Structure 1
Amino acid sequence: MANNDKIYEVYRGKRGVELERKTKERIEWILNEVDTANSILDIGCSQGIISLLMAQRGQKVYGLDIQEEAIKFAENLLENEFEACKENIKFKCIDFMKFDTDNKFDCIVITEVLEHLQNPIEFLEHAKKFLKQSGRIIITVPFGVNDHPDHYSTFYLSNLVAIVEKSFEIKKVQYIGRWTGLIAINKEDTQLFSYTQEEISKLENNFLEVDWEMTKRIQTLYQNGIEANAKYKQATENYELLKQKYIYELEKNKELLQENTRLTEAKEIVTKLIQQLYGEMGDEVQILKESKALISRLETQNNYLKHENAEYRRKLSLITDTSIGKIGIKVYKLLKKIKSKLR
C-alpha cells in the first residue's frame, strides 16, 4: 500500500487555494466526527496532519503509515509542537496488516486508504480488532474517478457500503465535494445500510456538484484551448515571417561571402603581380633605392653649405660694418686696381 500523499503541502496552500479550501473542509469534518473520543488509531496517517490536529485537542493518537518517509516527516512536525501535544501522540512506520496491540481504541480514522488496497474487506476486518465495542470508525475515500496509478478501486456509494458493512454498521454517509465520508459503529448485530430517498438525493446532489465542477473545468480548458490555438496560429505566422527573413538574410550573406571571396582572389592576384614585377625589375628597383640614398646625401650637403655660407656672410657683415673694416675694404679695392694696371 503505497502512499505518496502531499497533504501537508496542500494543507499549507502550496498547491492552490481551492484545493487547500476543500482539503481543510474535509479535515474539519473528520475532526468534528472524531468528537470527544479519547483514544484514536489513525491508520494511513501519511504526513500526520490530522493526527497532530487531534493531539493538539488533547486526544491520544497512534498514527500508522507504511511509508517511512511520511512517518519521518510527521515526526519532524511533531518536534515543533508543545510538550503536551508530544505526549498525546505516537507515530509508527508499519504495514497495518502486520500491526498488533492489546489496546482497543475509541475511534479509528482511515482517510484515503481503501482505494489503495487490493483487499479492503480484509483490511477493515483487521481494523475491527482494535476498535472498542460501539466504537466509531471514520472513513474517507475519493468520490468517483481519481486517476492515480496506485488506486485499485473507484468508490461512489454502493460498493463502499458493501465493503464497510461486512464489519461495521454504517450510521452516516457524507459527501464533501470530491470525497465521500462514512461513519460506522462496531456492533455485534449490525443492520444493513438503508438506501432511503434522502441518501439517494444526497448522492445525486453530489453528482450534480461534481458534474458542474467538471463542466466548468471543461469550459475553461476549451477556452484555454481556443486561446492556445490562436497563439499557436500567431506564432506560426511569426515563424513564417522570421523564416522568410532568415532566408533573405541568408541569401544576402551568401552574396557578401561570394563578393568577399572575389575580393580575396583579386587581392591574391595583385599580390602575385607585385611580387612578379618586383622580381622582373629587381635591378631597376635597386638603382632607384641607391639614387634615393644619393639624393638624400646631396640634400644633406647642400643644407650644410647653405649654413656655412650664411655664417660667412654674417662674419663678413661684422667686418664691413666697422670703420677699420671699411678702410680695409677701400685698401683692398685700391690694391686690386693697382695690380690690374701693372698687368
Structure 2
Amino acid sequence: MTASMKTARPKDQIRAAYYDQLGGGFGKKVRARVHWIVRQAKGEHILDIGCSGGVVPILLGREGKHVVGIDVLPEAIIEAKQALLEEPTSVKEKVELHEANVMTYTPDIQFDTVLMTEVLEHIGEPERFIARAVSFIAPEGRLVITVPFGVNDYADHKRTYYLNQLLEQLTPFGKIETIERIDKWLGVTIQVYPEPREGRAILPAEVEWLEDAFEEVERLHLATILDLKRKQQNLERKVQRLGEQTEELAHIRAESLRHEQQLQEQHEQYKMLEEQYAALLDRFEGSLVTNLELLEANASWKSKYRSLARSKLGKVVVRYWKFRRQLKQHRSRR
C-alpha cells in the first residue's frame, strides 16, 4: 500500500505488521484495515494500485479472484513476488505483480474493482491519480480508497485527510457507496460514473469548519505531548547523571512526576477528542452512504449539520479558541 511515485521514504512494512512482526496490537489494527479492503473488492478482476508487499493481492488470489498488483518501488514488488512463491499453484495462477507507475500503466482489460489504499496522502495532485484509476474500471465498477485519518505527519505525506476533503476529491468520479472509519484510517468506496461530473458535492460549511478546527486542536495536543515527552527524557538523563546527589535528585524526580501527570492528562484529552470526532462520523455515516446530490436537497440533513456547533466536539473547539484568545491577550500585555 505505497504511493505510486518514486520518492525516498521508509520501507512500507504492511506485510510485517499484518503478521504481527511489529507487535500484536499494531498487527490487529492493520489486519482490520486489510480485511476491510479485501471485503470491498467486488467482481472477478481486481487491480491493486500500490500493492506494496502483496498482502491484499495474495489474499484475494486465495479467494479465486484474478488480481493484478502494481507498485512503483522495485523492492516492494520483489517482496511481493517472494511471498507469492510460497503460495499454492492455484493462487500463483490468479495473481500478477508488476513494477509500474499508475500514470503510465496501460492494462489490457478493465477491472471490476480498483484498490488505491494509502496512496492519496502521498500525492500532490490526487485528482489526477483518481481520474487515472477510474479510467481502468469497467462500467458500474468500484473504486476503493483508504487514507490515514487526521494528523499523520510522515515525511512523505503531502496532506492531512478528514472526511470533507476526501469526499470533495471523490464525488466528481462516482456515487458514494460506503464510508467507514477504521481506527486511524478512513475507507470510502464509490461506484464510478461513465464520465466525471461537473461540480463537487461538498458537505455543508459547518462540517468543513469543524474539521479545520479539529485539526488545530489535534495538532495542539500532539505538539504538547511531544514537548512533554522531550522534557521527560531530559529529566531522566539528568537523574542518571546525578546519581546519589539527593537534594537535587529529589527536586528533579518531583518535576518528572509532574510532567508524567501532565502527559497523562494530555493523552486523556486527546483520546476524548478522537472519541468525539469518531462519534460525529458515526452519527452521519449511515446518511452519507447514499447519493450526495439528494442529501444536498434535503433540508433535514442540512439542519443536522447546523446543529454540529452545539455538539461535544463543537464545544471543545469553542473552548480551544477562547484559550487561544486569552493566550494572545496575555502575551500582548507582557
* TM-score higher than 0.5: yes
CA contact (8 A) 1:172 1:182 kept: yes
What's the % identity of the aligned pairs? 31
Provide, for residues 92-112 of structure 1, a one-character-per-residue CA deviation record: whole Å limited to 9, x for no partner.
Answer: 001110011230111011110
Equivalent residue runs for 1:294-309 within 5 Å? none
> Following TM superposition, by how much is the alpha carbon of 1:16 offset from its aligned partner in structure 2, in angstroms?
2.1
Provide, for residues 49-107 of structure 1, a one-character-per-residue CA deviation record: whole Å limited to 9, x for no partner.
Answer: 11111111111100000001100110000001000000000000011100112301110
Provide, for residues 107-137 of structure 1, a one-character-per-residue CA deviation record: whole Å limited to 9, x for no partner.
Answer: 0111100111111111111111110111011
* Equivalent residue, structure 2, for 1:236: 241
CA contact (8 A) 2:103 2:132 kept: yes
SS at match of 1:107: strand
Q: Note the residue ranges of structure 1 that are not aligned, 5 or more in a row.
A: 242-343
Q: Of the two structures, which has the highest relative contact order with CA contacts closer than 8 Å and spacing of 6 or more?
A: 2
Q: Which one of 10, 14, 18 corresponds to residue 11 of structure 1?
A: 18
- Please say if 1:103 is aligned against 2:109: yes
CA 1:25–1:215 in structure 2 vs 1: closer, same or farther (change >3 Å)?
farther
Give, in whole Å, the separation in 2 of the partners of 1:194 and 1:230: 48
Question: After the TM superposition, which of the residue ranges 17-26 and 63-72 deviates more from structure 2?
Answer: 17-26
> Following TM superposition, by how much is the alpha carbon of 1:165 offset from its aligned partner in structure 2, in angstroms?
1.6
Q: How many residues align?
A: 233
Q: Which one of 59, 76, 95 corresponds to residue 53 of structure 1?
A: 59
CA 1:230–1:194 in structure 2 vs 1: closer, same or farther (change >3 Å)?
closer
Equivalent residue runs for 1:229-268 within 5 Å? 231-238=236-243
* Equivalent residue, structure 1, for 2:162: 156
Return structure 1 stretches of 4+ with deviation > 6 angstroms.
Answer: 189-192, 214-221
SS at match of 2:193: coil
> Following TM superposition, by how much is the alpha carbon of 1:145 offset from its aligned partner in structure 2, in angstroms?
1.5
Provide, for residues 175-231 of structure 1, a one-character-per-residue CA deviation record: whole Å limited to 9, x for no partner.
Answer: 1111010010112376965749xxx7xx99xx89x97xx9799879958965x5664
CA contact (8 A) 1:43 1:64 kept: yes
* Equivalent residue, structure 2, for 1:26: 33
* Equivalent residue, structure 1, for 2:46: 40
Give, in whole Å, the separation in 1 of the partners of 2:120 and 2:226: 32
RMSD between aligned residues: 3.4
CA contact (8 A) 1:169 1:192 kept: no
Q: Note the residue ranges of structure 2 that are not aligned, 5 or more in a row.
A: 247-334
Give, in whole Å, the separation in 2 of the partners of 1:148 and 1:229: 24
- Please say if 1:172 is aligned against 2:178: yes
* Equivalent residue, structure 1, for 2:324: none
Q: TM-score, normalised by structure 1?
A: 0.60
* Equivalent residue, structure 2, for 1:119: 125
Bigger CA radius of gyration: 1
